Amino acid sequence: MSRLPEYSDIIRARMHLKEVVKVTPLEHSKSFSSMAGANVYMKLENLQSTGSFKVRGAYHMIASAGKERLKNGVVCASAGNHAQGVAYAARSLGVKSTVFMPLFTPPLKVIATRNYGAEVMLEGYSFDDAMAAALEYREKSGALIVHAFDDPFIIAGQGTMGLELFDQMDTIEDVVVPIGGGGLIAGIGIALKEINPDIRIIGVEAEGAQGMINSLRSGKPEKLTSMETIADGIAVKTPGVLTLEAVQKYVDDIVVVSDEEIARAAYMLLQRAKILAEPAGVAAMASVMHRKYNHGGRNVVPVISGGNINMGLLEQILEKGLMEEGLRARIAVLIPDVAGELKGIISILEGLRANINDIYHERSITTVPVGYVQVIITFNLQESGQLDSICSALTDRMLRFEILK
């Protein structure tokens, strides 16, 4: 039966990974410290090889397996980041890899995994579905399963980040970690609680995927019946047996963030810190920004765990963020369907220094009277007060309009 790794196992893992993984930056942020009311230091694991922390555990496990266990290759299931970590590690070690991913995995993660040399199979609608397919493949092929989180070598590999954090700043008081299956927080918790038991380990789950919280309540791994979150990297229906044990022993609290809070954190990281991170990767920062637990004045490290974001989702996050900040607006104006009417609206926007992003015409819906057209205009603003001036100018021209949210 597998056991939780010990501190000494994590030390050995660090020796394994010494020439493989990057020592990712730990950066203080004045902007996020001000927003959070704490001293915020970002652990930028989005800058790790393959774009996430997952390569730590994957490489350590495969490198520790031995030639006999690797003769039929390795297989894993993943929503994306573990897949890339396994593919990268397998190729580095000269091992064949097969990866099962859910059907709606972001295309860039699928492409990246294939580029690292893995054979990718798309199966099911969640990590658990892909995992079932991977286990079936293992039975047929004899390949070694590389679990995404519930394995002592995986946990030990992820735990090297805890050692790295303390090396970078020995005055850490709180480390905030996203939770999917729990491998990362298990490893970090084991490492840091051994070094300094007073360091608080705070976990973060997405509101729509609270597998670990449910499992803590019942005392055993519980399977979620459904999940709904933009943070696909932490959308895991069932946490692991080992990871649940580690959370029970080493984690001080778990908090929850909504998709709206995650999207806001991703936008603010890009806008204020010029850091691109995926939704799962910003969950910890979202909890710190929105003060989900009492961290006032403390030295807080949210782990930015990955940067492999779906470009379509990034576009939505940017659009929403710009509109929330009052730097982009969208209006629907009803005008007679005759030449020159649109030009008048455009002249108002240009005169008030609004930069038009796009224009859409709608004539066919029933709310648009015959002889009229509804024009939907999206435009960028230099400051939020411009929108009031634009609305006043449209009102002065007796135009019927609506600001769209």
Residue 200: which residues within 8 A CB-CB, separation 6 or more?
A: 173, 174, 175, 252, 253
The reply to whether 109 belongs to the active site is no
The reply to whether 33 belongs to the active site is no
Q: Which amino acid is at 197?
A: P
Q: Of 162, 128, 171, nearest to 251 (Cα)?
A: 162
Q: Which of 29, 126, 215, 305 is catalytic?
A: 305
CA–CA separation, 90 vs 330, rounded Å?
48
Residue 302 bridge partners (DSSP): 176
Burial track 264-297 (b if 16+ CB lie within 10 A, e otherwise) = bbbbbbbeebebbbbbbbbbbbbbbbbebbebee
Q: Of 135, 130, 75, 129, nearest to 99 (Cα)?
A: 75
Q: Which amino acid is at 111?
A: I
Q: Which of 43, 54, 109, 237 is catalytic?
A: 54
- Compute the radius of gyration of the chain from its Cα atoms: 24
3-state secondary structure of 145: strand
Which residues carry out catalysis? 54, 305
